[in-house]
Structure 1
């Protein structure tokens, strides 16, 4: 905290006027300031005493007018030397926190990543699609096989082509409905597991 102020000419004149009325301790400090002249420093304790003397006299000269143009002298703050053990502990803690932050930021980053995500994620996304494609292909093959078997087998029962096609469509439709029923039950079970 500031404790001194640089002396200006108006302040020097005021200090000369009140020097005899000051306390002996303040008088010695003012004497040293008067010998040095403008540019030296005077303590705030002396300035407080000067202000009280000026008030007691009823002077029209106020302290802020005397201090106009002067500068506050801020002493240099000497920082104590830091404990080396404390510095080492702080460095360890900083390094540990930085490492934890780095791990938190990079926990979902792998070297196998592509634009959508990792290859493992891509495999998990493709697996259900592969199952759906196989199921649809299986459904179409089953319906087509039922139609073909009925069409070929109905040549022994029907002689006309229209009757053979109609019977084949009916059997293929029944097989398709049965396949859809089984498919829906299976999908319902799989969705229940999710």
Structure 2
């Protein structure tokens, strides 16, 4: 909280002029002279500032208080923080540690260390190999089925078409139809394995 003004050179000059040319009340004169004489005292209390303002207003002087304080500022004393209680600090540290431990336990609540140690064994490797084997067999089955449909259509279309171009187009169409049917069956099977209708 501000307690006083910090005055500058402009204040000192105007107060000196005021004290030389006017009859200032004795108590106000003493306070102002004390500020002027003592170079280390650069503070003007609010009480003295009020007295000076009242004096200027009552006597109709051409000076205004804001002109006196133009190059000054408010004096804000430094806030001294009281030392922290060591018992309180220790108690706060215990509470922080407890909260951190609770947070850690909440995050790791669903982690099972025994399950983690078993998941890295040969059983998991066997499951992975079986899954990869099933995927490779499915892809090879799809490719063999489409290739066989193409070959059968190409060979069978020789009785309908004499040109090679027509035979290839017919074989591609038949292989595409068989490939799409195979994909449909594959997708429906995978949906059934995932539990979707």
* Range of TM-score over shorter length: 0.3 to 0.5
TM-score (norm 2): 0.46
Higher relative contact order (CA 8 A, sep 6+): 2
